[in-house]
A and B are shown apart, each in its own frame.
Chain A
Amino acid sequence: MTHEFLQNYWWLIMSVLGALLVFLLFVQGGQSMLINTKAKKRSLLINSLGRKWELTYTTLVTFGGAFFASFPLFYSTSFGGAYWLWILILFSFVIQAIAYEYRTKHGNVYGTRFYDTLLLINGVVGPVLLGVAVAGMFFGAEFTVGKGKILDAAIISQWGPQHGLEAIASWKNLLFGFMVFFLARTLASLYFINNINDKDVQKSQHKLLLFNALVFVVLFLATCAVILTSAGVDIDKGGTAMWKPYKYLDNYMQLWWALGALLFGVVMVLFGIGKTLMKKEWKCGIWWAGIGTVLVVMSLFWVLGYNHTAYYPSLLDVQSSLTLANSSSSEFTLRVMSYVSLLVPFVLAYIAYVWYKMDHTKLTEKEIKQAGEDEIY
């Protein structure tokens, strides 16, 4: 295994983790629907999501940890630079973690409404800002990197004074962010339809699905158009970086398997949504749309990092742009972690098994009523 192979392998792992994270954002999408929902139905939705929230959370943490381990220069540059963006994302997840557990507990001090509001905030802020952060990898950010500065006690990654606020203000990034948000809401409706056995919830979620899916499709098409017409940073054989028009479109043309994953994923997502809307009794849409989402997101990661592309372009100094080659861990570290990554299929297998065991019988109002105080959120 060469260093280059390991870098590509770890980018593949990152794409899998990133794709699973986007799929699991259905938890946040569901939380964003809690507003204007009656207490009983809200309880059903929250208890349905409450048994999955930790998976999303854990995937986010693992995604961060794996990025740190495999591409530490990105971790160093983006997190330290886009400070406000990442801090806001983190805050939104901090408040989520306790909200589920505390919302109905006696003595929770601030009342159930307060914790539901926290869930709502995480449901909106989380997906939008995570989308903004990923969009920055396509459209670039204002930073420079000089590894040698550390010798003079200076900081290797320098950013503009806004430290991530400028990324939130960028329309392209926001377009991407809201696309992710509406995808999360669409997936949430499909998840509720699959997971909750309640006529009222099914009915309301079918209605919401139609609206959210329509908005998502429009935003997705717009985002694709922007990405495919955008310039990216190409790295030549000598390692020199330069801006290249239509770089991502070009990557799709050259990487047929990435294009195949994109198209196949899109078809699966549309099929999952379409059939759910047309056949009310069909409840497997979440799996079709979920797997489709994973394929689409992976393909986006692939055109972002493969084919001699800088996956984090610098708008200030193109030579500072981050690539798989200049930002990765050493060959030794990547190899060690590759052995660990062999456990990932095993981890996915036990998650799937537990998910199956827990969701074998669908959630009902009766189950919530009969559950002990500690078995419900």
Chain B
Amino acid sequence: MSDLLMNVVDWSRAQFALTACYHWLFVPLTLGLGIIIGVMETIYYRTRDEKWLATTKFWMTLFGVNFAIGVATGIILEFEFGTNWSNYSWFVGDIFGAPLAIEGILAFFMESTFIAVMFFGWKKVSPKFHLAATWLTALGASISALWILVANAWMQYPTGMTFNPETMRNEMTDFWAVALSPMALNKVFHTVTSAWALSGAFVVGVCGWMLLKGRNRDHCMRSLKVGGWVGLIGIVLTSISGDTSAVTVAKHQPMKLAAMEGLYEGEPGQSIVAFGILNPAKEVGNGEDPFLFDISIPHGLAFLATHDFNAFVPGIEDILLGKSKDTTSFMTKPLSFEDRRERGKAAQHALAGFNDAVKAKDSVAMKQFRKEIDENFKYLGYTYLEEPTESVPNVPLTFYSFHFMVTIGGYLVLFFIVVLLLLYKPKWVPGKKKLQKFGYWLAIITIPLAYLCSMSGWIVAEVGRQPWTIQDLMPNKVAISDLSAGYVQVTFWIFAVVFTALLIADVSIICKQISKKSKTNLDVVETKK
């Protein structure tokens, strides 16, 4: 690939990263706040207590503002697969497109239809219908997340398909293997529940600010009960699914796990780095210590990755060289980078042979080449890589993002437990104003921490799998469209400016709405005559 083409790759990646990051700023709040509003409205429906209606409407306003920008930033992502990744769109469109289409038919229409009822239907439909509309909007958002995450999981762990040399693309052979792969299930569960946690933190943080200002205490208590529980359930489930995710990653993306841990040479009973500062001088094969400083927990990574304290976990150099110190059944026959590339070249060679056999109508040769393709295809992507180090992701970014995510995730578990304890046992901090103030500030600060934690998770997932667009099959430099770097550069900056301007408006509106409404009585519903 020429330097020019590499530039297009970089800009295309940058554009996708930019638009995906902006989109993800808004999606988790939609997913979690939808649930929180649904619970609040259900309480209102069952009790007919107007206070719960007022609280529901308060959060619904913020939901609406956030939802709109989530929708706006989302459309770009779907179409970007075509505009910037046209090779990819053909190579895996047969599999990847299906979840997107199902997402549209099942989820988007549900959301877009019922959100109108949610906001404008209070006086037009019955309370029961309205409640159903609120839950259907939340459900639609979750179904949408499910299918797009299934698609994403497939890119990390391609399964349920076969390569068709006649059409030069991957074709789906088992829908349920795609939809229910362990990677997909973990990803859906981990991502959706983490969104509940983020939304819980948002609700608690906003309430913290109102309590700091001494406004609408009763409304805050109601909100904290729902937000606190949704947040706690969310973060506990996120932690559980995080554990199973680690096992799946260790099995199917060992290089990503090694990067997450800054692990270059693994050992049986591998320890896990609880805290560490990476050595900037460390490069693959230079013998330097990967860390300037680290605190490790013995056997931690072995257990995290395999649920076996003594298992071998391969490091980056082990994977590249195909080394294993395995004493169990985990990773029994590792292939080195060179071996993989050779197998990939064998697949490439067989593909060329297959094409010639098709032209010559030689069915015997076609069958033979087909067999060779099937045997070696899963390493095809390595033929496009020139150096072994090309298959190594950005270690510092993956490592620090992972450790930040885990640290803040742990903090959130404690945070929600404390919030709920104080909510139900307020006498534990009687009259200690300074402590209360500290708690309110902590709640406010937790909002950006939760967002950073959520974003870090995606950085781990996406940076950690580089250079692959599709794991082991297609590196991102082969997935692009026939565009000049300049074109993509222009659209990158347009997106950057437009999305930033929209983000400023979004944050400004949300802050104003909170500030303005907090000054009104949120125990009653405003009515105009």
Contacts and interface: CB of A to CB of B under 8 A. Distances in A.
Contacts of A107: 508-509, 511-513
A258 to B, nearest CB: 25
A80 B65 contact: no
Contacts of A69: 93, 97-98, 100-102
A52 B117 CA distance: 11
B508 A108 contact: yes
A347 B105 contact: yes
B483 A80 contact: yes
B294 interface: no
A94 B79 contact: no
A72 interface: yes
B109 interface: yes
Interface string A76-97: 1111110110110011011111
A79 B89 contact: yes
Interface string A321-354: 0000000011011001100110110010011001
Contacts of B83: 79-80, 83, 86-87, 90
A299 B456 CA distance: 49
A256 interface: no
Nearest to A339: B175
Interface in B80-116: 81-87, 89-91, 93-98, 100-106, 108-116
A369 interface: yes
A61 B120 contact: no
B418 interface: no
Contact of B505 (A98, A332, A343): A98
B102 A340 contact: yes
Nearest to B89: A76
Contacts of A148: 168, 355
Nearest to B88: A76
A51 interface: yes
B384 interface: yes
A8 B69 CA distance: 37
Given A98-B506, A155-B87, A357-B121, 11 more contacts: A69-B97, A87-B491, A90-B83, A101-B67, A147-B90, A147-B167, A151-B352, A159-B482, A337-B101, A343-B105, A354-B117
Interface of B: 1, 57, 60-61, 64-65, 67-69, 71-76, 78-79, 81-87, 89-91, 93-98, 100-106, 108-117, 119-122, 124-125, 129, 133, 164, 167-169, 171-173, 175, 348, 351-352, 355, 384, 477-478, 480-484, 487, 491, 494, 498, 501-502, 504-506, 508-509, 511-513, 516, 526-529
Q: Among the interface residues B69, B101, B172, B504, which one has the most CB atoms of the partner chain A within 10 A?
A: B101
B1 A153 contact: yes
A4 interface: no
Given A61-B104, A350-B113, A375 B82 contact: no
A41 B108 CA distance: 30
Contacts of B171: 329-330, 332-333
Nearest to B82: A79
Nearest to B174: A332
Given A106-B516, A344-B105, A97 B93 contact: no
Nearest to A73: B90
A337 B117 CA distance: 29
Interface of A: 51-52, 54-55, 57-58, 60-62, 64-66, 68-70, 72-73, 75-81, 83-84, 86-87, 90-91, 93-98, 100-102, 105-110, 147-148, 150-151, 153, 155-159, 161, 163, 329-330, 332-333, 336-337, 340-341, 343-344, 347, 350-351, 354, 357-358, 360-361, 369-372, 374-375
A97 B68 contact: yes
B154 to A, nearest CB: 13
Contacts of B352: 151
Nearest to B95: A333
A107 B504 CA distance: 10
A193 to B, nearest CB: 20
Given A109-B504, A370-B529, A72 B93 contact: yes
B86 A155 contact: yes
Going nearest first, the 9 A-B pairs with the smallest beta carbon separation are A72-B93, A79-B82, A80-B86, A107-B512, A62-B104, A69-B97, A80-B481, A97-B72, A101-B68
B65 A57 contact: no
Given A54-B112, A93-B75, A354-B116, A108 B505 contact: yes
Given A65-B101, A106-B509, A72 B94 contact: yes
Nearest to B121: A358
Given A76-B87, A333-B94, A68 B487 contact: no
B511 A75 contact: no
Given A64-B78, A70-B97, A106-B513, A150 B168 contact: yes
A95 B498 CA distance: 9
Contacts of A159: 482
Contacts of B101: 62, 65-66, 68-70, 337, 340
